[in-house]
Chains A and B, each alone.
Chain A
Amino acid sequence: DQQVKQNSPSLSVQEGRISILNCDYTNSMFDYFLWYKKYPAEGPTFLISISSIKDKNEDGRFTVFLNKSAKHLSLHIVPSQPGDSAVYFCAAAAGAGGTSYGKLTFGQGTILTVHP
Chain B
Amino acid sequence: DTAVSQTPKYLVTQMGNDKSIKCEQNLGHDTMYWYKQDSKKFLKIMFSYNNKELIINETVPNRFSPKSPDKAHLNLHINSLELGDSAVYFCASSTFGGAAYNEQFFGPGTRLTVL
Contact = CB atoms under 8 A, between A and B. Distances in A.
Interface of A: 2, 32, 34, 36, 41-46, 49, 51, 87, 89, 91, 93, 96-98, 100-109
B102 A43 contact: no
Interface of B: 4, 31, 33, 40-45, 48, 50, 55-56, 90, 92, 94, 96-99, 101-109
Contacts of A96: 98-99, 102
A96 B101 CA distance: 8
B90 A102 contact: no
Contacts, number: 75
B56 A103 contact: yes
Given A41-B108, A42-B108, A45-B106, A102 B41 contact: no
A34 B90 contact: no
B104 A46 contact: yes
Contacts of B96: 98
Contacts of A36: 106
B40 A108 contact: yes
